[in-house]
Amino acid sequence: MLNKNAGKVDWGEAWRMTQRVAPEEWMAIKRELRETFQSTLAI
User: Which band of pLDDT confidence, cut at 50, 70 and 90, is reported for residue 43?
Assistant: confident
The phi and psi torsions of 19 (rounded to 5 degrees) equal -120, 160
**pLDDT for 1-40, tens place per residue?**
567 887 888 989 988 998 889 999 999 999 999 999 999 9
Q: Which of 38, 34, 17 is nearest to 26 (CA)?
A: 34
Residue 14: the pLDDT is 86
Tell me if 35 sits within 8 A of 27, measured CB to CB.
no
Residue 40: the pLDDT is 93
* 4 DSSP assignment: -
Tell me if 29 sits within 8 A of 19, measured CB to CB.
no
Ranges of each domain in the chain = 12-41
Question: What Cα–Cα distance (Å) separates residue 39 from each residue in 2, 3, 42, 43?
Answer: 20, 24, 5, 7
